[in-house]
Amino acid sequence: MITRPVRRILAMFAVAAFAIAPTVYVGWTAWRINRPGRVHEVEASLGEQIGLSASLRSVRYPRPGEIQYEGLVLRQEERRRKLIEVARADRVVLGQSGRDATIAVDNLALHAETAGQALDQLGSFLRRSAIGSFDRINLVAKRCEIELGEGDDVIKYTVADLAGAYVAEAKSPSVFIGYRFLNELDSSSTRCELKLTRDRGIEPPRTTLRLQTVEGLPIAARALDPFFNTRERIGVKARFEGAIELSRGGDSSDWDIDFTGRLLDVDLAKLVGSRDADTRLTGSAKIEVKSAKWRNRPGQGYGWSEASGEIVSSSGTIGLSLLRALRGEMRFRLSPKLARYEDRSGELEYHALGLTFDLGRDGELNLTGALGSEYPGGTVLVHANNITPLAFAPAGAANTRGLIKALFPVAPDALVPGTPEAQAYQRYLPLPHQIVSRAGAIHSN
């Protein structure tokens, strides 16, 4: 029989167990979470997981399974022992459910000094074993500002409605992101996609990044500036739609590039090198690229190894000296009606320009007309009167050596020109093997 004093003692223990103890536990937990050193512990843990230095303004736990980071900044240590900021966000909310996680980000901003650094960081992300604690990580951000470069050379992009996921497959972890690219020139937006994968099923493992436009108007070609200097090569008004894929094996510093798509409003004067009217080509062109490959070429280093497609322009001018150089160096066939311009300088207006191109690894160029059945076969250039063909495609194959010498005339005994503009073409285009084998002669001019 339980006496009254015993019942009082049991009741006291019950109150302590079911009321006082939970209150004490909650109070202790709140103190532990909010004590001054807690933020530093979270920063250290977070930085270890993602391989970067992390700093936070505060951290909160709004509900079970959810963590809210305020004022998050991520920095990467460079070789100079200097910490460089690579990302920041006003707020990051992490929700966990089993081995799945969802990350919602407010005002995300990403920064890299170079495109190579950004790609290295993406590749490092997929190599981190700590991320293996999740099978899937979903990411959502309403807006993201991206900066590449430093000082006056910085390139800025804005994307919106970003949504994606990281999937932790043992042999091929991957990241897929959809977003809207905001076009500054006309305030439109274009739906784009990014896919990053790391294939661990081959040796060495291969990392691949694919970027492509999906829906909407063509985007400003400056989006390609991390890979190509579009302002200097195709003009400030150029636009792009299509796909670019970068890949590399192991931890190599160089990336292979595959490019397909359309370049619109290309400034031909920029494309071929703007000079005086006698040797200049002008106009706004569309370039359809079926395939273009950037690879390491024996004896030449990285550059374009293959390319095929079509170039078309509806109007412009062409220098008379350039026309004669195309005939002499590349075997273009000129209309007999141009005989009266043989000794003249200046330029001619054209109504249409169109040719297909197929560039091989040995520098061979196969060119054909692309103006349709309206004009005689092989026509590549039509006079401003829209009637008279001015030039026809070469009867046989040409090569990049002839192209460079046609665009940048030199002395007859020189292999290729030695001007800075011509040297840029030499670096980026495949040259015939006999020219590559005499690289010393190329650089001596």
pLDDT category at 289 given cuts 50, 70, 90 is very high
318 contacts 381 by C-beta, under 8 angstroms: yes
- C-alpha 342/C-alpha 324 separation (Å) is 8
Token pair of 410, please? 């030199």
Domain ranges (residues) in the chain: 254-445
Query: Would you state the pLDDT for residue 25?
Result: 37
Q: Is the pLDDT of residue 17 over 60?
A: no
What pLDDT, in 10s, does the model give residues 202-213? 888 888 999 999
- C-alpha 221/C-alpha 229 separation (Å) is 10
Answer positive or negative: Cα dihedral of 88, 93, 96, 100: negative
Query: Would you state the pLDDT for residue 35?
Result: 52
Query: Would you state the pLDDT for residue 316?
Result: 95
Spatial neighbors of 64 by CB under 8 A, at least 6 apart, are none
What pLDDT, in 10s, does the model give residues 223-264? 888 877 888 889 999 999 999 999 988 766 688 999 999 999
What pLDDT, in 10s, does the model give residues 293-329? 999 988 888 999 999 999 999 999 999 999 999 999 9
Query: Would you state the pLDDT for residue 422?
Result: 75
Query: Would you state the pLDDT for residue 183?
Result: 85
Burial class (CB in 10 A: 0-12, 13-18, 19+), 420: exposed
Single pTM value for the model: 0.81
HSE, side-chain direction, 13 A CA sphere, residue 319? 21
- For helices 320-330 and 400-407, angle between their N-to-C axes, nearest 10 degrees: 160
Q: Is the pLDDT of residue 393 over 50?
A: yes
Query: Would you state the pLDDT for residue 86?
Result: 87
Query: Would you state the pLDDT for residue 140?
Result: 95
Tell me the average pLDDT of the chain.
82
pLDDT category at 27 given cuts 50, 70, 90 is very low
HSE, side-chain direction, 13 A CA sphere, residue 204? 9
What pLDDT, in 10s, does the model give residues 114-158? 777 777 766 666 665 445 577 888 999 999 999 887 777 788 889
Q: Is the pLDDT of residue 437 over 90?
A: no
What pLDDT, in 10s, does the model give residues 338-373? 888 888 888 999 999 999 999 998 899 999 999 988
161 contacts 135 by C-beta, under 8 angstroms: no
- The pairs formed by 201-208 with CB atoms below 8 angstroms and a separation of 24 or more are 201/171, 201/172, 202/249, 204/249, 204/250, 204/251, 205/249, 205/250, 206/247, 206/248, 206/249, 206/250, 207/122, 207/123, 207/126, 207/247, 207/248, 208/245, 208/246, 208/247
What pLDDT, in 10s, does the model give residues 66-103? 899 999 998 887 766 678 888 999 999 999 888 889 99
